[in-house]
């Protein structure tokens, strides 16, 4: 049998001008991931990461914390492990949807009113906005040629997962990616409906480990969203 460990990147900077970098907390989470994997005796045969800075940086710091990058095989970038276009959803699709959906427009206004405050209230307002918008995007209720659609996102994640599951028996694969990819990969493995992918996505914490065992044409979910290596001060969803 083989194992795939899906690892969400450390905390990024979603409310800053540059959203694709790790925060200081995110860097600490990435190191904790490497320490956890080393403590568990995980020896990867393949290390993959998406093309985003936060994904690549998490993989690098985890490898260093696990005993040095030389202890792991050279990482390979797979563009199919990129997150869905969250910036495109917010910057391009959000105003389009708000212009024809009064309830969503109210959510946008509520978030803008709390954005400067920071803290839990801002995060709750943003989460509500994002869940509504992502649901509309998933159902093709709001689209734009410059924003990757749900069907294309689903197809590329499925293709990446299919390639991993075809690796030789005894493989141990570490894939540094994002919450949307992890939620969809788990839903695909469980033959769950597409709506479940987004529900899973919202629960995936920064720096979490999701383990799948595969072989002989079968794949099983062993653990989802494991954060035992991230105590309270290292825990975050966003």
How are strands ordered across the β-sheet holding 172-177? 76-77, 46-49, 172-177, 2-8, 209-215, 218-226
pLDDT greater than 70 at residue 69: no
| Res 187: pLDDT | 98
CA pair distance 158, 21, nearest whole angstrom: 26
Q: What is the mean pLDDT of the chain?
A: 94
| Res 115: pLDDT | 75
Task: Sort strands 209-215 and 2-8 into parallel, antiparallel or unpaired.
Answer: antiparallel
Q: Is the dihedral of CA 7, 11, 17, 18 positive or negative?
A: negative
Element (H, E) at 128: helix 119-138
CA pair distance 16, 28, nearest whole angstrom: 19
| Res 101: pLDDT | 97
- Please give the average per-residue pLDDT across 164-189, as a whole number: 97
Beta bridge partners of 41: none
The count of C-alpha atoms lying within 13 angstroms of the C-alpha of 23, restricted to the half-sphere facing its C-beta, is 18
| Res 237: pLDDT | 84
Q: What is the pLDDT of residues 5-37, one digit of tens each?
A: 999 999 998 777 787 999 999 999 999 999 999
CA pair distance 76, 123, nearest whole angstrom: 33
Q: DSSP letter at 233? A: G
| Res 232: pLDDT | 86
CA angle 166, 168, 171 (to 5 degrees): 105
Element (H, E) at 173: strand 172-177
Q: Are 201 and 31 in contact (CB under 8 A)?
A: no
pLDDT over 90 percentage in the chain: 85
| Res 23: pLDDT | 96
Q: Roughly what angle, to the nearest 10 degrees, separates helices 102-115 and 119-138?
A: 150
- In the block, residue with structure tokens 């540094």: 176
Indicate whether this model's pTM tops 0.75: yes
Cβ-proximal residues to 74 (8 Å cutoff; 6+ apart), any chain = 47
CA pair distance 182, 225, nearest whole angstrom: 9
Q: What is the pLDDT of residues 172-183, one digit of tens each?
A: 999 999 999 999
CA pair distance 3, 214, nearest whole angstrom: 6
- In the block, residue with structure tokens 């009113």: 113
| Res 84: pLDDT | 97
Q: What is the pLDDT of residues 112-161, one digit of tens each?
A: 888 777 777 888 889 999 999 999 999 999 999 999 999 999 999 999 99
Q: What is the pLDDT of residues 43-65, one digit of tens each?
A: 999 999 999 999 999 999 999 99
Task: Sort strands 218-226 and 209-215 into parallel, antiparallel or unpaired.
Answer: antiparallel
Q: Cβ of 11: how many Cβ atoms within 10 Å? A: 25
């Amino acid at each position: 049998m083989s194992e795939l460990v899906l690892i969400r990147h450390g905390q990024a900077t979603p409310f800053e001008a540059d959203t694709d970098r790790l925060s200081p907390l995110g860097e600490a989470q990435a190191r904790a991931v490497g320490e956890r994997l080393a403590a568990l005796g995980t020896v990867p045969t393949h290390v993959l990461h998406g093309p985003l800075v936060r994904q690549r940086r998490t993989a690098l710091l985890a490898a260093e914390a696990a005993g040095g990058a030389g202890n792991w095989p050279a990482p390979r970038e797979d563009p199919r492990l990129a997150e869905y276009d969250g910036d495109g959803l917010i910057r391009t699709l959000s105003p389009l949807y708000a212009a024809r959906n009064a309830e969503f427009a109210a959510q946008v206004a509520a978030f803008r009113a709390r954005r400067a405050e920071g803290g839990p209230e801002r995060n709750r307002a943003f989460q509500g906005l994002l869940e509504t918008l992502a649901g509309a995007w998933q159902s093709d209720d709001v689209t734009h040629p410059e924003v990757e659609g749900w069907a294309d996102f689903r197809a590329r994640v499925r293709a990446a997962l299919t390639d991993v599951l075809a690796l030789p028996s005894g493989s141990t694969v570490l894939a540094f990616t994002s919450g949307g990819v992890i939620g969809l990969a788990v839903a695909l493995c469980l033959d769950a409906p597409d709506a479940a992918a987004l529900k899973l996505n919202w629960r995936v914490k920064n720096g979490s480990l999701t383990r799948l065992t595969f072989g002989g044409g079968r794949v099983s979910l062993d653990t989802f969203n494991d954060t035992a290596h991230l105590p309270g001060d290292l825990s975050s969803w966003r």
